[in-house]
Amino acid sequence: MDLDKFFSDLESAVESGERKAVRTLLTEVMNNRVAFYTQCSSISLLESYSKAMFHALILELDEEEEDSIESAELCYLALGNQIAAMQAAGIVPEAETIKRRLLLLHYFNDYLTDTMMSLFTPEHKDDNILEARTLAIDCMAKMQLHDMSWLGEHYPEFAESDEHIAVCDQDLSESFDKESIEQDMKNASIMHKALTAHLKVKYKER
């Protein structure tokens, strides 16, 4: 399949408000989400793929929770790979790309909690599940703060004017600790890389 043409058709359908065409194309992505991901070999394709997966999550196209978990994981993985590739090439990621990762972690964190937990407790033993879940949720909050901070540094006007970012900022206000913010941001950057690497291995094995 020519993914460039496919995602171009999807983008055109979204822009023109062709809801039926959008739903049909997104359903095709969801039904072949892993296969589509493995074919995304460029930054532009990863961008288009993550946009499609995020759109599908918003529309709740998955019927089963385990499918939604996979969709969220692949969306995050595509974003992580895209951002890493851009930074390695000396390219500053677009504001919308970082915002998409922020909103994915904010609005769909339930689908990523178990994945984050597996980084701390690979075997999910009964005696440490609660502790691991609390740690995973706290880490995802810090990862969101990291992305908001990055946007504020690189795209200050965008960060200050975007309504979705404002909601995230308000929701996460209690997670902000001025005394530990610098170390929290360093740890969050590491966790972004760790989660991306973990998911890369998971879907490479499939």
> In this predicted model, what pLDDT tens digit does every residue of 14-29 receive, in sequence order?
999 999 999 999 999 9
Residues of the domain holding 51 = 3-204
| Segment 81-138, tens digit of pLDDT | 999 999 999 999 999 999 999 999 999 999 999 899 888 765 555 567 788 888 899 9
Q: Two tokens at 129?
A: 């599940």
Tell me how many domains the chain contains: 1
Q: Residue 155, Cα to own-chain centre: how many angstroms?
A: 19
Is pLDDT larger for residue 2 or for residue 128? 2
pLDDT digits (tens, 9 = 90+) for 33-72: 999 999 998 999 999 999 999 999 999 998 899 999 999 9
Would you call 78 helix, strand, or coil by DSSP? helix
Written as one string, the DSSP assignment of 112-168 is THHHHHHHH-TT--GGGHHHHHHHHHHHHHHHHHHHHHHHHHH-HHHHHH-HHHHHH
Q: Residue holding tokens 């909050």?
A: 141
d(C-alpha 93, C-alpha 30), whole Å = 25
Whole-structure pTM value: 0.93
Token reading at 122: 């690979």
C-alpha span between 168 and 148 (Å, rounded): 8
Gap between the Cα atoms of 203 and 206, Å rounded = 5
Residues 6+ apart with CB under 8 A from 201: none
Which residue type, as a one-letter code, is found at position 69? Answer: I
Burial class (CB in 10 A: 0-12, 13-18, 19+), 104: buried
